[in-house]
Amino acid sequence: MKGKIFIIEDEASIVQLVQHNLEKEGFIVSSSLNGNEGLKELKKFEPNLLLLDWMLPDLSGIDVCKNIRRDSNFKSLPIIMLTAKGEEEDKIKGLESGVDDYITKPFSFNELHARIKAVLRRSDPKVVANELIYEDLKLDRIEKRVFRSDNEIQLGPTEFRLLEFFLINPKRVYSRDQILETVWPNNVNVESRTIDVHIRRLRQSINIEGKKELIRTVRSSGYSLI
Amino acid sequence: MKGKIFIIEDEASIVQLVQHNLEKEGFIVSSSLNGNEGLKELKKFEPNLLLLDWMLPDLSGIDVCKNIRRDSNFKSLPIIMLTAKGEEEDKIKGLESGVDDYITKPFSFNELHARIKAVLRRSDPKVVANELIYEDLKLDRIEKRVFRSDNEIQLGPTEFRLLEFFLINPKRVYSRDQILETVWPNNVNVESRTIDVHIRRLRQSINIEGKKELIRTVRSSGYSLI
DNA sequence: TCTTAATGTTACAGAAATATTACAAATTAA
DNA sequence: TTAATTTGTAATATTTCTGTAACATTAAGA
C-alpha cells in the first residue's frame, strides 16, 4: 500500500479524475466536496497526505490548514494545495500557513503525481528520526514503545533497554559481559545467568503470533539480534 | 523570513558549511565555537532553533541543554543535536535531557534540512496555537478552559499547566525531572513523588464518563499523553 | 551413545516503582 | 476575616519488575 490520500475540493470533476488516477496508482483515496465536512472525515480517515483546494464554498483553505495544524494528531500531515491560476497571493499565504507544496490548476496528473511522491518522500525522515528499526521490529525511543509488525508490545524497563541495545548494532554478537556493562546501570552486580532470563523474557514478548525468532544464541559467545 | 537558527559547534568547517547553506535557504544564522560563549550569544540572538554539537571543548552538550531548559525564555527552544558516529550512549542521554532530534555526523545538508523543517513545524504550534487538541481533548490557552468530548472540565492551575505541557508533545514520554523543570516555576523545590499526585489528580479530572485513560505511565521513565 | 558444559525454563520472594489516600499548610476568593 | 480551593508531603497500598536458584533441555565432542 502506497499510502492514504484525502482530497478536499469542490469541483467534482477534478475530484473524480484525480481520485481515479490515484487509485490506479495504488493509493487509497477518500474525498469531500467542502471544508467542514472534509475536516471531520479526514480525521477519521487518517490520510498520509492531503490535497486541499484553496477556494472552497464554506471554509478557506487557510482555515482548513490551520485547523489541521492545531490538532496534534495531524500537525505534521503533508498538505499539497490546489490553487487556481493567478492566486499568487494565496500561494504565499499558503506556504506560510504550513502547506508543503502547491500546484496550479489546470494541472496534469503526472505533475501532481510527481509532487505527491516528492512530498511523501520528504515527510518520511521525521518519522524515522528517533526510531530504531530492524525488519518488522520498531522501537521508538521518545515514545518508549515497541512494535512487531505494527502490533504494540509491552516490555519491562530492562527488556526495553536490552532490545534497544541490540537494535543499535543488529547482527553483532555480544557477550554476557558486554551486555551487562551496557544495559545494566553501572556498579550493579548481577549474576551473568540473569541475562539468560531477561533474554528469555524479551524473546517471549517479541515473538508474537508465531513470527520468527529474532534473537540468536551463539553458543559460548553470547547473543545477537538475528 | 523562515526563522533564526543558532549553531554551537567547535568544528569551524562544519559551521561554515551549514551556516552558508542555511542562509542560502533563507534562514538567519548565527554561531559560536564553544559552549559558554554560545549560551550567552544565543540568548541575545533569540533563535527559533538550535543546532548543538554534543562534544564541545568546554561544556558538554548536556550542560548546554540543561542550562537552556532551565531558562524560562528558552525552555521550549527546539534543539537538534549533532553527534559523532558511535556516541549512541549519548544519544539516549540527549533525548532524555530534552533534545528534540539528533543527527549523526557526517550528514548531508539535505538530511539536516529535512530534520530542521520537521522540528520547526512540530514546534510551531506551541508558540502560536491558542488551542491544543488531542483526540477529544481540547485546551484553550487564552480562555484557560479544558474540554473532553465537549464537556468542560475544571482543573486546578497546576493540573492545567501539566496538561498543557503534555499536549504540546503528545505521545512523548517525559521523566519526572523534565516535568518538574518545565511545569513548575523555576527554582522551586518539590519532591519528585509530588508529580505522581498531580498526575493522579489530572487523570481523575479528565477521565470522565468512563472514557479511556489518556495518560500513560511508563515505568522507570515517566509519563506521556497516551 | 554418553558425558558434560552451556543454555533454556520456571517459579518465587524480595525489591522497586507507582497509585492512592489523607491531611495540614498555603494560597486565593468571598 | 472566613471559607474554599489548591498544594505538597508523608504514610500506606498496590502493582510490576528483578534476580536467583533449581531443574530441564540441548549441543558437541569423546
Secondary structure (DSSP) of A68-136: HHHBTTTTT--EEEEEETT-HHHHHHHHHTT--EEEEES--HHHHHHHHHHHHHHHSHHHHTTEEEETT
Share of chain B above pLDDT 90, in %: 24
Lowest mean pLDDT across A101-110, A177-186, B157-166, B201-210: A101-110
Q: Does domain B129-225 have CATH number 1.10.10.10?
A: yes
CA distance linking residue A67 with residue B61, whole number of Å: 36
- Higher-confidence residue of B93 and B206: namely B206
Question: Would you list the domain boundaries of chain B?
Answer: 4-124, 129-225
pLDDT of B215 above 90: yes
Is beta strand A145-148 parallel, antiparallel or unpaired with respect to A151-153? antiparallel
CA distance linking residue A195 with residue A222, whole number of Å: 10
Sheet (strand A79-84) strand order: A28-32, A4-8, A49-53, A79-84, A101-105
User: CB–CB of B186/B72 below 8 Å?
Assistant: yes
Distance B158 CA to D18 C1' (A): 35
The class level of CATH for A131-225 reads mainly alpha
CA distance linking residue B206 with residue B152, whole number of Å: 10
Which whole number is the average pLDDT over B197-213? 88
Quick one: CA dihedral B41, B43, B47, B48, positive or negative?
positive
Which homologous superfamily is B4-124 in? Response regulator (3.40.50.2300)
pLDDT of B77 above 80: yes
**Between chains, do A76 and B114 touch, taking CB under 8 Å as contact?**
no
Q: At what angle do helices A157-168 and A176-183 cross, to 10 degrees?
A: 110
Distance B196 CA to D7 C1' (A): 13
pLDDT digits (tens, 9 = 90+) for A89-107: 555 555 555 677 778 777 8
Nucleotides of D under 7 A from a protein CB: 5-11, 16-22, 27-28
- A29/chain B closest Cα distance in angstroms: 23
Q: Which of A72, A129, A143 shows the shortest C-beta gap to B134?
A: A72
Residue A27's Cβ-count burial label (10 Å; 0-12, 13-18, 19+) is: buried
- Higher-confidence residue of B130 and A201: namely A201
Query: Closest-CA residue in chain A for B2?
Result: A96
Mean model confidence pLDDT for chain B:
82
Nine cell digits for residue B141? 490557552
Q: What is the pLDDT of residue A95?
A: 54
Q: What is the pLDDT of residue A187?
A: 75
- Higher-confidence residue of A49 and B54: namely A49
- B222/chain A closest Cα distance in angstroms: 10
B132: which chain A residues are within 8 Å (Cβ-Cβ)?
70, 72
Each residue's pLDDT, cut to its tens digit, for chain A (226 residues) gives 678 999 999 888 889 989 988 988 888 899 999 888 999 999 889 898 999 988 887 887 778 888 887 776 787 788 888 887 665 555 555 555 567 777 877 788 877 887 887 677 656 543 344 778 888 899 998 899 999 988 999 999 999 999 998 988 788 899 999 899 889 987 788 999 999 999 999 999 998 877 788 999 999 889 999 8
CATH of A4-126, one of 3.40.30.10, 3.40.50.11720, 3.40.640.10, 3.40.50.2300: 3.40.50.2300
CA distance linking residue B184 with residue B178, whole number of Å: 10
A143: which chain B residues are within 8 Å (Cβ-Cβ)?
171-173, 224
Is beta strand A4-8 parallel, antiparallel or unpaired with respect to A49-53? parallel
Distance B223 CA to C7 C1' (A): 37
